[in-house]
Amino acid sequence: MSRIAVLGVGAIGSIYGARLCALERHEIDLCVRQTFEKFRIETPTGVIEAPAHCLTAPEEAKPVGWVLLAVKCHQIKDVEPWLRALVGPGTVIAVLQNGVEHIDNVTPYAHGAEVLPAVVQCPADRLAPGHVVQNAMSGLVVPDNEAGRGLAELFEESDIEVELTPDILTALWRKLCGNIARNPATALTNRGRGVVKDPGVAEVCRNLVLECVEVGRAEGADLPEIFMEKVVSTQLGIEQDATTSMLVDVRAGLPLEADGMTGAVIRAGERHGIKTPLTRALHALLSVINR
């Protein structure tokens, strides 16, 4: 049995936290602002319900073996008191976030815990505390190391597929390319993913992906031409009203993950002397929404 804390119980934290609670072989603490009694996750194959044990203050928490960190990258510093209370000898923090800077972003607040980057594959919408609509089957990609294999064991006998990879850098950048292809456009237009089918918007998104791919390659990610074309062509099959994480935040009046997405591309580009003019322009617009 493992003792696990889920820190950030929004759509993503709920999906993975609910699976762990439903297994009934771990001790799960849900670190929340608003308590709820049970999870209700509506998946493509049925409904998952599981009881929820909620904590509302770091003073209630004890050190755990695992922290599933599912807050957004700009919220990490805000949950440092929780991390201080949850981290003990041998704690692993699995970072379930967008972006490519998981280790750099979390390590300053990790209090010596091992930081495990993870790529989350799970489109979902949170309707209420603990109540989430999961729009596709879910999975995680983590490094093929001891911590990654340990995380995979946590989800054994659940429907969460945990893929182990020897190249987490490439997995992170591929996910970022997909996010760059649609998140900024939906946030700036306040329209669903279908907006990327507009010819003018499609051209903007394609050029954003081109900049992201060039920078990612310079960072060492394996991003062949066929991958870039797949990212662009996938946009054509997207449902018109499907949301993105940025669009959900715009409509809720919440800060956007601009720094973790477009900001990350800009910073990496600067390290390699690569100009990213379109990414910079959209980042400036997204930053104005945040202000």
Number of residues in the chain:
291
Residue 232: Cβ within 10 Å count: 17
Helix (H), strand (E) at residue 41: strand 38-43
Catalytic (active site) residue 230? no
Question: What is the C-alpha to C-alpha distance for residues 261 and 79, in angstroms, rounded to an integer?
Answer: 20
> 62, 72, 77, 175: which one is catalytic?
175
Residue 65: Cβ within 10 Å count: 19
Which residues fall within 8 angstroms of residue 221, CB to CB, at 6 or more apart?
A: 169, 170, 172, 173, 174
Judge whether 181 and 235 are in contact, CB under 8 Å: yes
Q: CA nearest 109: which of 133, 83, 131?
A: 83
Which amino acid, 113? A
Active site residues: 175
